[in-house]
Amino acid sequence: MEISIIGTGNVATHIAIALKENNIQVSHIFGRDENRLNSICQKVEAKAISSFSDLPKQLCIICISDDAIADVIPKIDADIPIAYTSGSVPISSLLERKNIGVFYPLQTFTKNKEVNFFEVPIFIESNNEYFTQNLFDLAWKISRTVNYATSEERAQLHLAAVFVNNFTNHIICLAQEYCEVEKIDFNHLRPLLDETISKIKHQSAFENQTGPAKRNDVRTIEIQERKLSGHAKEVYKVLTRSILNTYKNK
């Protein structure tokens, strides 16, 4: 089996490497950024292309931003089976074609940081049973957590992932900014962060919750609010109110 990839970002890079490591040849990669394109092609020994017409008639995985998917698909030969990696774009919203599907890895990918793809959940969907099975079989070669998911289920997973990853990361960013302003060493908080993540493996976040809002410690909350300003203060107030409401009368 040979596969083409459109995109040169983190998702494209990690998928290409995972495929190569499992003896699946990525033969062609399309990209606009010449430096990034050459870099990923060297890693997986693929041919760099800059025209959609150069895509061979084999499975093509599209690893680009959600907003660009609808614009790119019509430019690809209708006989080429395609699968895109978005968590939120429904198949019904895209141009109808013979074989179109989803190959959605539910993970955050970072440049130059290795990922054990066998632990990455991959969610599959397509517009026909035969192509769905093909995508499932491909995903199983690089992951041991492969599931079918409708567009609606995938969108729900993606939204949950925004809370788990994007919002959590932003809150940590706010904490780092606060530490920098107050000249606090953020490294002192790393063991706490590690323990917070570790605990979720053993019991629910609801059970793990601690802190002044959980205890309804109004005086501490007021003092902490006064120490904050701007976006950080707004986030603190919103999350505190949510925690208070969650544990009210519990």
Q: Which of 117, 149, 181 corresponds to the end of one domain?
A: 149
Whether residues 123 and 212 fall in one domain: no
Whether residues 165 and 186 fall in one domain: yes
Q: Which of 116, 149, 182 corresponds to the end of one domain?
A: 149
Give pLDDT, residue 46: 97
Give pLDDT, residue 250: 75
Number of domains in the chain: 2
Whether residues 125 and 188 fall in one domain: no
Give pLDDT, residue 195: 97
Whether residues 14 and 77 fall in one domain: yes
Helix and strand element counts for the chain (H, E): 11, 8
Q: Which of 149, 177, 204 corresponds to the end of one domain?
A: 149
Q: Assign residue 57 a region (left: φ > 0; alpha: ψ between -120 and 50; beta: otherwise).
A: beta
Cα four-point dihedral sign 126, 130, 134, 137 = positive
Whether residues 17 and 49 fall in one domain: yes
Question: How many Å separate Cα 61 from the centre of its chain?
Answer: 16
Whether residues 94 and 62 fall in one domain: yes
How confident is the prediction along the chain (250 residues), in pLDDT tens digits per residue? 899 999 999 999 999 999 999 999 999 999 999 999 999 999 999 999 999 999 999 999 999 999 999 999 999 999 999 999 999 999 999 989 999 999 999 999 998 899 999 999 999 999 999 999 999 999 999 999 999 999 999 999 999 999 999 999 999 999 999 999 999 999 999 999 999 999 999 999 999 999 999 999 999 999 999 999 999 999 999 999 999 999 987 7
* Segments forming the whole domain that contains residue 220: 155-247
Whether residues 129 and 42 fall in one domain: yes
CATH number, domain containing residue 136? 3.40.50.720
CATH number, domain containing residue 165? 1.10.1040.20
